[in-house]
Amino acid sequence: MSEGIQQSITVIKGVGKETAENLNTLGIETIEDLLFTFPARHEDVRLKDLAETPHNEKVTVEARVESEPTVFYTGRKNRLQVQILAGRYLVKAVFFNQAYLKNKLHVGDIVTITGKWDKGRQSISATKIDFGPKTEQLDFEPVYALRGKVTKKRFATFIQTALETYKDEIVDSLPNTLREKYRLLPIVDALYAVHFPTSAAHAMQARRRFAYEELLHFQLRMQALRQLRLEQEAGTAIAYDLAKVKAFIASLPYELTNAQKRVVNEIFRDIKSMRRMNRLLQGDVGSGKTVVAALALYAAVTAGYQGALMAPTEILAEQHGASLAEWLAPFGVRLALLSGSTKTKARREILAHLASGDIDIIIGTHALIQPDVQFTNLGLVITDEQHRFGVAQRRVLRDKGENPDVLFMTATPIPRTLAITAFGEMDVSSIDEMPAGRKVIETHWLRPEQLPSIFERLERELQAGRQAYAICPLIEESDKLDVQNAVELYEQLTTVYDGKFTVGLMHGRLHADDKERVMRDFSEGRIHVLVSTTVVEVGVNVPNATFMMITDAERFGLAQLHQLRGRVGRGEHQSYCVLLADPKTDEGKERMTAMTETNNGFVLAEKDLELRGPGDFFGRKQSGLPEFKMADLIQDYRILDVARQDAVALLHEPNFWHDPMYEGLQHMLKTSGVADGERFD
Ligand code: ADP
Ligand code: MG
């Protein structure tokens, strides 16, 4: 026997079997479901003066009928037209397919009409008519996403009845303390305000309360799960040798930035502790993540553990391998590189040394997750550009050790909002500062026809001894076309710079050996302009390259454009990025403009999120983002942040699980599978 608002809607007066079935199709089974079915929006039905109503705006007027209605028929459709006097304005009201109104409207009648105002035609295209003066008490009418047979009016009556009858049985999940802190409406008031608002501000107050409540619930679940993970999942306590780590830092040719120091501290605190690290390191392209990874790996080695660094492409793995070898080999660290193109014999040796503990750090591609890759004691796993690997792949590598600490690195900064939602169970470290002396990459957006003018500008760079990238987009439907574009641009540039500069071509269809050769020729300066598809996107480091042009730039998302741009601006010289684009949509134009306005990946990420919405940001399917009724991750990110802090503080209260003040929250957590020290799912 359920009671209170858990009872079936059939107990509400007026809800019969058929109505109940209708409501069921909307997902409404209980009184609680009914009360918490929020309107999609509120419509302003205040009476308005037509003189102040903009064209095409919705308007409600009280008016006097001034003419007999006329009906025009076209085929099976009809249109009824009548003169009305609304305030001082004599205008037309037009009704579609409501010829029956003809006998109901008489000169002198007072009516209330809602519809769209056509200023040019001086007519209202009516969607609603009430006979008599405005009776509706509400100025802001809730609009529910109703389907089927239940009318708006009846639906509102059910809610009203339910509220009157059961208002004393509704538990407010928000404790007084929090409600007072943010001046949020108590639950019953909020329900009245959302269903029967007296003003826009009143409806807004309800929205604010429910948005906060939803986000608090969400954060509590996340934080409670996180606490459980920390308590239950023992990790590896890496007792690193601080003196050795400091010696390594001292050997670097530069000082770490403050942001690097901060994230190193965060990471080191994690790896030293018994709990398993599960941390995301995000930092813009060029912010210096590699050296942070090297520090963490070296720390693990000084404690007698092995470390692994996995990168999404061979080129990137090789670059990491080269950097790490340069830094760490002088300290006696034994490193090896393993990729798909490692020869069989070399591979066999590496695997043997890895299994016997004669290799300290292995750097590689997917090749690292093969079953025959075995470690003696893997203590730390780092994945670069984590979004390029599936969850399963990342887990395979992790499972090659006994609860090794895990660090993910990404140069695609995740908007703050999403970092704390999508990765609520992960700790996040951000390198939000560039090494000193970096020059801002000057970015321009030009029209495709301006391509020839770019050749001149580019030539000046080349004459000064610099190098350049020319990027053609990846056309998903056809990588043939993709290659063809690159080939055409390559031929064009070869003709333009004939005899003066060397142009190279790089695309996904080249043989691994050829790719390797082209890349090497470019990084060693034998190729001056590298025409490429997006294969150069990740990680490539050629500090002498100062010019980047991207054709058909409108085809790229902001994150990818920013990634590509990050290939230049890596050395001491001023760098440039030219976007050739002819975007057809406003969104596309905004993307191009955003690129020219900022070099900050975090800012662009927020912009990307705003332009595309959170689902698209991760790809809708695996977004893993929760759905909210009222809260909006973009609009309400401040509330989300506050809710997160409140959730952490609540869970730290010693009496949280027992204080009756938190009854609603305890109940919410228990029904979603989390309870004091236990996890049910
Ligand atoms: P990313 O974060 O994109 O992986 P990298 O680790 O490749 O960036 O670093 C980019 C460049 O900046 C490298 O040449 C690196 O040696 C250099 N670098 C890293 N940290 C600093 C620093 N604190 N000061 C100066 N240069 C740095
Ligand atoms: Mg990197």
* Residue 254 Cβ < 6 Å to ligand 1: yes
* Residue 115 Cβ < 6 Å to ligand 1: no
- Minimum mean pLDDT among 138-152, 193-207, 257-271, 518-532: which range? 138-152
Give all strands (DSSP E) within 165-257, no chain letters.
none
- For the purposes of burial, counting CB atoms within 10 Å of the CB of 329, is it exposed (0-12), middle (13-18) or buried (19 or more)? exposed
How far does the centroid of ligand 2 lie from the alpha carbon of residue 543, in Å? 14
- What is the predicted pLDDT for the residue at 181? 95
What average pLDDT is seen over the chain?
Answer: 87
- Minimum mean pLDDT among 246-250, 477-481, 594-598, 634-638: which range? 477-481
State the average pLDDT over residues 376-385.
92
* Residue 563 Cβ < 6 Å to ligand 1: no
At residue 490 the predicted structure's pLDDT band, cuts being 50, 70 and 90, is very high
* Residue 601 Cβ < 6 Å to ligand 1: no
Q: Evaluate if residue 478 carries a pLDDT over 70.
A: no
Buried b (16+ CB within 10 A) or exposed e, 508-540: eebeeeebebbbebbbeeebbbbbbbbbbbbbb
C-alpha–C-alpha distance, residues 172 and 663, integer Å: 9
* Residue 286 Cβ < 6 Å to ligand 1: yes
pLDDT over 70, % of the chain: 91
User: Relative to the CA of 255, which ligand 1 atom is closest?
Assistant: 23
* Residue 285 Cβ < 6 Å to ligand 1: yes
Ligand closest to Cα of 323 equals: 1
Read off the pLDDT of residues 392-429 as tens digits, 9 standing for 90 and up: 676 778 888 888 999 999 887 777 667 666 566 678 89
Q: Evaluate if residue 680 carries a pLDDT over 70.
A: no
Q: Evaluate if residue 207 carries a pLDDT over 90.
A: yes
Q: Which range scores top for mean pLDDT: 338-347, 468-477, 530-539, 563-572?
A: 338-347
Q: Evaluate if residue 475 carries a pLDDT over 70.
A: no
Ligand closest to Cα of 317 equals: 2
Report which of 54, 195, 175 is spatially closest to residue 646, judged by C-alpha positions.
175
* Residue 567 Cβ < 6 Å to ligand 1: no
User: Relative to the CA of 289, which ligand 1 atom is closest?
Assistant: 2
* Residue 256 Cβ < 6 Å to ligand 1: yes
Neighbour count for residue 391 (Cβ, 10 Å):
10
C-alpha–C-alpha distance, residues 427 and 311, integer Å: 21
- What is the predicted pLDDT for the residue at 625? 60
* Residue 283 Cβ < 6 Å to ligand 1: yes
Predicted structure pTM score: 0.65
Residues in the chain: 681
> Which two three-digit tokens encode residue 16?
């019969």
Ligand closest to Cα of 316 equals: 2
Mutate to test the pocket of ligand 1, among 262, 281, 287 (most ligand atoms within 8 A of CB): 287
How far does the centroid of ligand 2 lie from the alpha carbon of residue 292, in Å? 10
Nearest CA to ligand 1 atom 18: 288
Nearest CA to ligand 1 atom 26: 435
- What is the predicted pLDDT for the residue at 614? 63
State the average pLDDT over residues 179-205.
93
How far does the centroid of ligand 1 lie from the alpha carbon of residue 511, in Å? 30
At 282, is the secondary structure helix, strand, or coil? strand
Nearest CA to ligand 1 atom 15: 288
Cα distances (angstroms) measured from residue 576 to each of 413, 547, 681: 22, 5, 52
- What is the predicted pLDDT for the residue at 615? 58
Q: Which range scores top for mean pLDDT: 40-54, 156-170, 218-232?
A: 156-170
Q: Evaluate if residue 73 carries a pLDDT over 80.
A: yes
Higher pLDDT, 36 or 423: 36
Mutate to test the pocket of ligand 1, among 291, 316, 382 (most ligand atoms within 8 A of CB): 291
At residue 272 the predicted structure's pLDDT band, cuts being 50, 70 and 90, is very high
Using alpha carbons only, what angle is made at residue 100 by residues 95 and 104, rounded to the nearest 5 degrees?
A: 90
* Residue 290 Cβ < 6 Å to ligand 1: yes
Nearest CA to ligand 1 atom 24: 435
At 680, is the secondary structure helix, strand, or coil? coil
* Residue 294 Cβ < 6 Å to ligand 1: no
- What is the predicted pLDDT for the residue at 135? 66
Q: Evaluate if residue 622 carries a pLDDT over 50.
A: no
- For the purposes of burial, counting CB atoms within 10 Å of the CB of 77, is it exposed (0-12), middle (13-18) or buried (19 or more)? exposed
* Residue 319 Cβ < 6 Å to ligand 1: no
C-alpha–C-alpha distance, residues 389 and 397, integer Å: 11
At 630, is the secondary structure helix, strand, or coil? coil
β-pair type (140-143, 41-44): antiparallel
- In DSSP notation, 510-578 reads S-HHHHHHHHHHHHTTS-SEEEE-GGGTTT---TTEEEEEETTGGGS-HHHHHHHHTTSS-SSS--EEE
* Residue 411 Cβ < 6 Å to ligand 1: yes
505 — phi, psi (to 5°)?
-130, 135
> Which two three-digit tokens encode residue 18?
């058929």
Higher pLDDT, 482 or 68: 68
β-pair type (405-410, 140-143): unpaired
* Residue 409 Cβ < 6 Å to ligand 1: no
